[in-house]
Amino acid sequence: MTMEIRRYILGRLFQIMLIFFVILTVLFLLFRLAPGDPVSRMVDPNLTPEDAQRLIEQLGLDLPMWQQYLIYLENFLKGRFGISFHYGQPVSEIILNRLPNTILLFTSSILLAAFVGVFLGKIVSWKKGERIDTWVTIGALVCHTLFLPWLALIIIWVFAYWIGWFPLTGMISAEIWTDPSAGLLKKGLDIAHHMALPLITLFLIHFGSYLLVMRSSMLDTLREDYILTARAKGLDEATIRNRHAAPNAALPVITSVGLSLAFSINGGALTETVFTWPGLGRELVFAVSNNDYPLAQASFLLIAAVVLTANLVVDLLYAYLDPRIRY
């Protein structure tokens, strides 16, 4: 690693930490200023005003703002993310429980969409101008603009209800996981079975943009000088396209993945909610509607951290893979 790259990374890391700190503070202010604390949601005549007051004190919501902020910072630095108001469990436990589910679904969908998008984009760029090009392009566009929750519901309706090949909801089947004789393979297949529909939904929404990026990138690349050289050398078209053009053309797709990460995360949260996939996105939506500040804060911070780091990684990866760019 050269000096420049090292400096670049350090610079970016510093930036990330700064952004993080800003987000941390903003989140704190947001939730403290928000109307509606978790206690106020409890509609139970048995809950007397004294009970409510006691609960508020126990949750620490009655301290002056600046004191709460300092406690908040101190806890965060020590790695203590608080106790969820809603579940009464440490927030880190809840997040650790949900995070793997999100990572599983999310990464699989991005990888699948990227690979298929690149592959189809490459093929379609060969056949530019022909009917298949138009149809695939239009198809990709249409898929990209479908409204995700709506698409998800229709997919559930068609594949899980009418055709009935897939489960309706969730990540696992209770019957299989409470069966003492079920082994790892059976459980793994069960998860895959449940993941199929959310995966397809996310895939449909995302593959279009990767396809289009790959397509235009291929067309650009095929005009480059070194391709002309390869042709002059007498190499056949297939080899040129697959071995020389495609790997370089795929690079913009990588940045595209990074740039559209925010968009993908939105989609992930929506998919998890509709499919009742027990992931972090869904938990965040719940936490916000329940005024569960500690959980909402920590979930959002984690997502922000992931997005920021992913962007850094994507930039570095691009720099590493593209011989033309050196920082």
Partner 1 sequence: MKTGNEQRDAFAAPAGRRDWLAGGWAIFWENPIGKIGLILMACFALMAAASFVPPLLDPMYHPMHGVDPEISHATGPSAAHWLGTDFIGRDILSQLLAGARIAFMVGLSAAFMSIFFGTLIGMISGYAGRFADTVLMRLADMVMVMPTLLVVLILSSLFGQLRIWTIVLLIALFRWPGVSRVIRSQTLTLKHRPFIEAARVAGASHLRIIFRHIFPNVLPLALLYMTFRVTSAIIIEAALAFLGFGDPGTVSWGMMLQWVWKTGHMFQAPYWLLPPGICISLLTLSFYMLGRAMEEVLDPRLRKEGESE
Partner 2 sequence: MTVLNRTRTALLLFSAAVLVFSPVAWAESRHPLRIGLGEEPRTLNVWMASDANSNNILSQIYQPLYRYAPGETEMVPWLASGPPEMEADRVTYQVRLRPSRWSDGSAFTAADVAFTCRLIKEFKIPRHYSRWKFVDRIEVVDDRTVRFVLKEPMAIFLTRSLTIPIVSEKEWREVAAYARKQKKPLATLFNHTVEHPLGTGPFVLEKWHKGAFLHMKKNDFFFGQGLWIGGRLLGPFVGEILFKIYGTSDVAMLALKKGAIDMYWQGIQPGYIENLEQHPEIRIFSSERSALYYLGFNLRKPPFDDPALRRAAAVLVDKSFIIKRILQGYGSSMDSIIPAGNEFWYNPNLTEYGESLNREQRIRAAHRILKEAGYRWTRPPVDDVGKVQPAEGLRLPDGSFMEPVTILTPPADYDPHRAISGLLIQQWLRQAGIPASARPMAFGALLQQVKTRHDFDAFILGYGRLSLDPDYLRIFFHSEFDRERGWNMSGYHNPEFDRIAEASEKTMDLEARRLLIYKMQEIIARDVPYLPIYLPREIEAVRTDRFAGWVQMLEGIGNIWSFCQLSPVN
- List 217, 218, 257, 272, residue binding partner 1 (CB under 8 A): 217
Tell me how far CA of residue 162 lies from CA of 72, 150, 274, 277, in angstroms.
Answer: 50, 17, 18, 21
Q: Is there binding between residue 129 and partner 1 (CB under 8 A)?
A: yes
Which residues from 22-61 bind partner 2, rule CB under 8 A? 35-38, 40-55, 57-60
Q: DSSP characters for 32-66?
A: HHSS--GGGG---TTS-HHHHHHHHHHHTTTS-HH
Which residues from 2-31 bind partner 1, rule CB under 8 A? 15, 19, 22, 27, 30-31
Around Cβ 116, how many Cβ atoms within 10 Å? 15
- Describe the crossing of helices 91-126 and 184-221 by its angle, rounded to 10 degrees: 40
Query: Which partner from the list partner 1, partner 2, none does 252 bind, CB cut-off 5 to 8 Å by kind?
Result: partner 1
Count of residues interacting with partner 2 (CB under 8 A): 53
Query: Which partner from the list partner 1, partner 2, none does 321 bind, CB cut-off 5 to 8 Å by kind?
Result: none
| Stretch near partner 1 under the rule CB under 8 A, chosen from 73-81, 84-92, 104-112, 257-265 | 257-265
Q: In the complex with partner 2, which residue's Cβ is closer, 59 or 302?
A: 59
Which residues from 197-256 bind partner 2, rule CB under 8 A? none
| Stretch near partner 1 under the rule CB under 8 A, chosen from 60-68, 91-99, 114-122, 285-293 | 285-293
Q: How far apart are CA 46 and CA 42, in angstroms?
A: 10
Contact 102, 264 (CB under 8 A): no
Query: Which partner from the list partner 2, partner 1, none does 80 bind, CB cut-off 5 to 8 Å by kind?
Result: none
> Quick one: how far is CA 327 from the chain centroid?
28
Q: In the complex with partner 2, which residue's Cβ is closer, 61 or 235?
A: 61
Q: Shortest CA distance to 293 belongs to which of 19, 41, 102, 91?
A: 91
Residue 252, φ and ψ in degrees, nearest 5:
-60, -25
- List 21, 135, 161, 320, residue binding partner 1 (CB under 8 A): 161
Contact 102, 302 (CB under 8 A): no
Alpha carbons within 13 angstroms on the beta-carbon side of residue 76 total 20
Query: Which partner from the list partner 1, partner 2, none does 88 bind, CB cut-off 5 to 8 Å by kind?
Result: partner 2
Q: In the complex with partner 1, which residue's Cβ is closer, 190 or 245?
A: 245
Q: DSSP characters for 78-96?
A: TT---B-TTT-SBHHHHHH
SS3 content of the chain, % helix, strand, coil (to 5): 75, 0, 20
Binding residues (CB under 8 A) for partner 2: these are 35-38, 40-55, 57-60, 83, 86-89, 97-98, 101, 156, 160-161, 164, 168-172, 174-175, 177-178, 273-274, 276, 278, 282, 289-291
Q: Which residues bind partner 1 (CB under 8 A)?
A: 15, 19, 22, 27, 30-31, 33-36, 128-129, 141-142, 144-151, 153-154, 157, 161, 217, 219-220, 252, 261-263, 265-266, 269-270, 273, 281, 284-285, 288-289, 291, 296, 300, 303-304, 307-308, 311
